[in-house]
A and B are shown apart, each in its own frame.
Chain A
Amino acid sequence: MAAYLIRRLIQSALILLGVSFITFFLLYVLPADPVRQIAGRSATPETVANIRAQLGLDQPFIVQYGRYLAGLFHGDMGRSYLQKTDVATLIMSRLPASLLLMVAGIGAELVVGLTMGVVAALFRGRVLDNTLMMTSFVTVSAPQFVVALLLLYVFAVQLGWFPIGGYGTPAHLVLPAMTLGILGSGWYARMMRSSMVEVLRADFVRTARAKGLTRSRVILRHALPNAILPIIAMIGIDIGIFMGGIVVVEGVFGWPGIGQLAWQAIQRVDIPIIMGVTLVSAFAIVLGNLLADLVAPLIDPRIRIR
């Protein structure tokens, strides 16, 4: 177990290093000059050159990357080019909101998705099953912006049950979390349905039924825990999808997370912020996958860690 953990941690570190290198390289070759954004429209070539030198952007790629990494190892993610604020401060001030929304969103996904999947599996081949699977197909393909606005319009503007965007109270959390929940639930519903169908056919379920257990006990105690296993691995992967998809939802609901920060930084070629947000997101994804792999054997003894 310890050897496995160490191996996985080294792997994770290498992945993060790779992500940092690729992102830094892509930003380096990008045909957009951050110095022009900083220096303004009336800057002379001398001013531009001076600022380029101050930021070290006149150095070769490998020197720039080396300096960035050296800073990173000292916990310094640099300063925003345009805000002049420390990047770590900017990310830390927004990370809690993103994490809260992510946890709530995944919670909503699981509740909605798993319920749909289980019900569909139990009514396999019937109208209810077809309806639920069709619904899941629609939610998976629905544009986030439209769903978010629709929920906002119906439940906040028309019915007035929730505030129109913003952050702070549990009521503010409901609509953005539900948007993410509805949109992501389709994957879980489909996965849960096929997993459940498979388990319901398994011998141990037949045995349980044969020894006279009630239908609900068979489903809840025997079938469900086994069917849910593949879902756990999926949550780990889902964190990655979330990091990407959260940008739009944060935008519509005015949720002060890192998605908004990243979006604005990309518009303005603010490289230190783009790097910082990318690395933090990559870290979350790597951590999510690692945790999913570590938790799986605790739930399912058939999985062994080597």
Chain B
Amino acid sequence: MKKLLASTALIAAIALPAFAQETLDPNAVSGGNITVTYKDDVATLDPAIGYDWQNWSMIKSLFDGLMDYEPGTTTLRPGLAESYEISEDGLTFTFHLRPGVKFHNGRDMVAEDVKYSLDRVTNPATQSPGAGFFGAIAGYDAITSGEADTLTGVTVVDPATVEIKLSRPDATFLHVMALNFASVVPSEAVDAANGDFGKMPVGTGAFKLGDWTIGQKLVFEKNADYWRAGLPYLDTVTFEVGQEPIVALLRLQNGEVDVPGDGIPPAKFQEVMGDPAQAARVIEGGQLQTGYITLNVTTPPLDDVNVRKAINMAINKERITQLINNRAVPATQPLPPSMPGYTEGYAGYAYDVEAAKALLAEAGLADGFDTELFVMNTDPNPRIAQAIQQDLAAIGVNASIQSLAQANVIEAGGAGTAPMIWSGGMAWIADFPDPSNFFGPILGCAGAEEGGWNWSKFCNAEIDAEATAADSMIDPADPARMQMWSDVYMKVMEEAPWVPVFNEQRYTMKSERMGGADALYVDPVSIPVNYDYVYVTE
């Protein structure tokens, strides 16, 4: 079969030599320890289960998948796969594994482990929140329904080769294989952990788990046999949990902490940024996040597109951004600016109270109406909800605020009982840097079912079809595909099921002794930092 080289990125991938020769940072120093703090305890380090910003980067350092990203970027690169080929129809992926990769338990990683890991993550018994990402692999439906316990689409060709057949083309498949959920795990370690692999993780990553004192701290130790030569630089990373962000900041100022994992507490933000010495150690970057208000298109009068447009025009995004100390940029569309497929030059709905009133009058609601705005009850979300409430009052819309715990807001959103929801605290952050990730579950028909994350209950068959067509293209980075996605989101904006409010910026603070490129501290896939590549200078 003729192999298709879909893009330069793919050619580069195949051309890589057998042993990954990293371009190492010439200033890097090996050795030392850094201390990272978090408020929340680490729930799990099982790559099939872990799905929060805290454990995501930790799991990335303990495990590897077939694919990976260039540190500090959203560029795909091969991981445990040394190279791969994609068939012309885009349905068969053949991965050639890197030789000589060892698990932390000393055993060689082989193709059988890749198959086992994919079977495990998709098996409903594992209860993985990421199982849905693998829906394109042939045999997925049989394994989720319990008819099979192995994916028919994944074949071990020989110990160093895995072939994965898809049931439908999926442009994002290489990104999916770079997700933590696709990490390769050794079956014997999973079995030995007896249901608690999340506390006894064994992978192939740059670090292995040392001590873990539940509720207090975890220590990651350097994997001396790591297959990327020269990495990691640090000997150990210590994670201390149960620390209030404000206490973590005090300890950082005292030289006891290197990275406060929860960031700079909002109450201290201006103080830190106003002090040149401290501000110099804060690295700012974009993140693949959008904060939005959902407008339930099945609830009158929000079922009228003019009413939804009026609400879009009524919201003063600049003021809301100021409310959070300008730690965000106002948004015009669902995609964040750093996401491929973002529509440059689109201004969105400008803030215009008079035009909003006129649209409402046109919809026969000159006197406004009563509605409800659901919001998660942690700061700053109730404050933002009040600002939205005031903006709506200016056009005669009387919104009462329902401030609830996160789980209750999610429940109301899924059930479709919330007319409006401010997404803060639950906002969509991309799983991988591809525009499709902002559509299916939150704006597509699939997510509009009861219990889904499409809280607007927005379902437009025509837009859905275009999204499916875009994802059926083989090369994820194809400009034609990006154009299609841009088009999808522009059509969504015409229907106005959301008010995109802002895109949050990331601010990572580090201690003076920490080194490495700034991009590592705002790495789009490893938050707060890419532990494999940072180092200490003393």
Which positions in A face B, CB cutoff 8 Å?
30-33, 36-48, 50-51, 54, 79, 82-86, 90, 93-94, 97, 149, 152-153, 156-157, 164-167, 250-257, 260-261, 264, 266-269
Contact = CB atoms under 8 A, between A and B. Distances in A.
Residue in A32, A90, A269 whose Cβ sees the most chain B Cβ within 10 Å: A32
B214 A86 contact: no
19 contacts: A36-B410, A41-B441, A42-B132, A42-B133, A42-B440, A42-B441, A43-B129, A44-B132, A45-B451, A50-B144, A54-B125, A54-B127, A83-B199, A93-B215, A149-B246, A156-B250, A164-B250, A256-B216, A266-B405
Contacts of B51: 40
Contacts of B145: 46
Interface string B235-262: 0000011111011001101101000000
Contacts, number: 148
A260 B215 contact: yes
B405 A32 contact: yes
Top-7 shortest CB links A-B = A40-B129, A256-B215, A32-B407, A42-B132, A254-B242, A50-B124, A93-B214
B44 A84 contact: yes
Interface in B124-151: 124-125, 127-133, 135, 144-146
Contacts of B128: 40
Interface string B197-232: 111000000000000011110000000000000000
Interface residues of B, number: 58
B313 to A, nearest CB: 29
B127 A38 contact: yes
A120 to B, nearest CB: 34
Contacts of A252: 244, 247
Contacts of B41: 260-261, 264
B451 A36 contact: yes
B186 interface: no
A165 B124 contact: no
Contacts of B408: 30-32
A41 B453 contact: yes
A31 B198 contact: no
A36 B414 contact: yes
A264 B405 CA distance: 12
B318 interface: no
A84 B198 contact: yes
Contact of B242 (A30, A41, A85, A250): A250
Interface core residue of A50, A79, A90, A153 (most chain B CB under 10 Å): A50
A260 B242 contact: yes
B144 A46 contact: yes
B40 interface: yes
B278 to A, nearest CB: 15
Contacts of B250: 152-153, 156-157, 164
B215 A38 contact: no
B466 interface: no
B144 A32 contact: no
Contact of B244 (A46, A47, A254): A254
A156 B250 CA distance: 10
A222 to B, nearest CB: 47
